A and B are shown apart, each in its own frame.
Chain A
Amino acid sequence: MNTRKIISVAVGVLVPIALLAWWYLASAGSLNPFFPPLRDIVVRFKELWLFDHFATDVLPSLGNLFVGFAIAVILGVALGFAMATVPVLNAMLSPVVQFLRGIPPVALIPILITLVGFGNEMRVASIVIAAMFPTMLSTIDGIRSVEPGLKDVGAVYRFSRGDRLLRVYLPSSLPQIVSGMQVSLQVAFIVMIASEMLGSSQGIGAMTLLAQQSFMSADMWAGILLLGLIGFLTNILFDLVKNRVLSWYVSSKRLERAA
């Protein structure tokens, strides 16, 4: 069991290192302008992002990502709660929601550009609108699948409405809400980059696209590398928080599997 775990962690670490080494070696003498040597990419990575453009481009991108994601989650949970607990609202909104969620989020950006303009508001607004749906839909699912036995307990012991919502429905549906949030985070990330590529001169997305259009391949690859890193680290951070908040859920599932 334990050795197996060590092996799997080792494999998880070694394979990416091996891939990077292979990339480094294979690209070392590359004259192909589109695939510059990894060494050049790393040099440009340092020059661009550490920390020349960090404050002007990386921080605003990350800021948009987290602000947009946070608003999306708050709205998604609130609307999900409302739709799952108020039948009239559900009847009214459900068709609209089903239609809107079918539109690829990136397709909304041109509309938003016309509506909100090219500013930062447009980028945050696109992230919010696109990232809201996964959280909202999983909130609805989560609340609909609250154990009826727990609802009965809330009724028999006459919990207040607030306690019922915040101390029964919310924690009970939290596992589903959080997995919806994880999808929302990925969507937010995609839309963040796309919004910068389509309507901005600032941000990691804009710089990466600009590099591609000016045939500065090393800069382009450096941008992609940075985006990959940010996505990777955000996910790790999310998992850490998730395991913290849902420790009861994680442990009870583990116990269930062991039984």
Chain B
Amino acid sequence: MSRNDGDGEEDSPKPDDKSTASISSAAHEETTQVNALNGGLEPGNFLHIDHKPRLLLMGLKRSGKSSISNVVFRKMAPHETLFLETTTTIRKEAMHSFMDFQVWDLPGQIDYLDPEFDAESIFGGVGAMIWVLDAIDNYMEPVSRLTETILHLQHSYPDIKYSVFIHKVDSLTEDFRDDTMRDVRQRITDDLYDAGLENPPITYYGTSIYDHSIFEAFSKVMQGLVPQLPTFEALLNTVSASCKFEKAYLFDVYSKVYIASDTTPIDMKAYELCADLIDIIVDMSEVYGWDRGKDQQETDPSKAVASQSAESFVSNIKGYHLYLKEINRSAL
């Protein structure tokens, strides 16, 4: 059990008549802190607006790429992905956190390895590639397509980090899930080894859009793209120590991806709790955040300013508390 701190961080600022005008002073202070950190890093890191790191979602068709992208970045309910149609063009999702980056959903039927294909336009500037592999389908083909792709890209783009999402594991029993994951990993490692690539930069995750695993996995992938991760972790460690928090997370509220956490061991259940609290806050902010027109303006403006950044507290979960503080402005 632990004390948790979900720190809020939010997606694209939606133009919003009143709240844009007056961001609370507290929020400013904390944002400045973060910015100051950026300044301390060596120049040329890809945080600059003109250089958004790119994250590719690849895999065979029907493996679940569009579902993942819609569930994580567009808040689609998992069961609604049943109605998704096959993607035929590259779909780009922009994520604006304090780090801007893009997620590209690449349709499965295009042969990206064809020499005719303008590889640079897709793979140039890519930070990470997620290969989505349908765990309930035959995985021989996707495994060989993945290894081909890695071997092909390895020379021109050696810095790409690979993650394999062994996806739809909700449909497998626990034993079978572990076996499948082990087997997939073994095959990929063997294939690459035979082709002369030892210790490839690949991380494996079992994922499903029907539970928190997809958000957890995405968080880990994202963290690999945050160059200041150690600095954030150190900062969160300090916060945790001085406030006696048992665990502190820095969240992107809209996607429920956590960008960093303090360095005490991660408890998946604590993460789920924070993610569910964020769901409550986002949902309630939608239904009770409606524009009340002049009625609301009548309230003392000094009072309104006090809560320009959202804050939430859950008290006494068996003696522990959960606290969320929004750091920079958001749609909350």
A binds B: no
Listed in ascending order, the chain B residues whose CB lies under 8 Å from chain A are none
